[in-house]
Structure 1
Amino acid sequence: MDHATDSFKEKLDTTYSFPALYMFKFIVRPDQVGQIEKQFSEHEVILKPSSGGKYVSTTIKIMASSSDEIIEHYKEAAKIEGIISL
């Protein structure tokens, strides 16, 4: 892991007591929603299109078993071109 990932993991471990409810928020293009839904196929993905329809805000709540699980989801999501993590 790099320094930023180590720092994020440390922050997660001090903020949460696992297992814990964790909320992901991403902004993607409409044609990328399927990729988010596939990655979080076992979880509800809440979609909110932007007023202009160019982007979709996604919210996903998961019961995470560890900080490593959260980091893995972020790493997978980062493979989606142009994704914005909030």
Structure 2
Amino acid sequence: MADIIDSNHANPEEFYKSLKEKLEEQHNFPEEYLFKFIVTSDSEKITEILRVFDNLKYTLSNKESSTGKYTSVSIDCFVLDADQVISIYKKVATIEGVMML
């Protein structure tokens, strides 16, 4: 999936409506969905992201950049539908300094 930050959708409501349509076209929910984030290499930021996934079944993998400044966080999570994916993205979006892919 393309970078979740999309300059063509200045209105977040329109963006999430469009995202929901794309998710429903391209995925067969319920299924495993891969969330990808990039954060500064700060364990507190990663912990904040993981709190969003509390009570969900997921697997986590991290990879630090070659300079050690950033960490990519990949979370493969079982989700029920597009609404749940969007809900997770909205919660992570409230965490400062997280780029969502």
TM-score, normalised by the number of residues in structure 1: 0.90
User: Which runs of at least 4 in structure 1 moved beyond 4 Å after TM superposition?
Assistant: none
Q: Could you tell me how far apart the structure 2 residues matched to 1:77 and 1:71 are?
A: 10
Match of 1:35 in 2: 48
In structure 1, the partner of 2:99 is 84
Segment of structure 1 superposing worse, 3-12 or 36-45: 36-45
Percent identical residues:
38
Deviation at 1:83, TM superposition (A): 0.9
- Aligned-CA RMSD value: 1.4
For residue 12 of structure 1, what is the amino acid of its counterpart? Answer: L
Tell me the distance in 2 between the aligned counterparts of 1:22 and 1:54: 26
CA distance in 1, matches of 2:41, 2:95: 12
TM superposition score normalised by structure 2: 0.78
Task: Give the drift of 1:69.
Answer: 0.3
CA distance in 1, matches of 2:59, 2:91: 17
Give unmatched runs, 5+ long, in structure 1: none
| Aligned positions, number | 86
Which residue in 2 is equivalent to 1:18?
Answer: 29
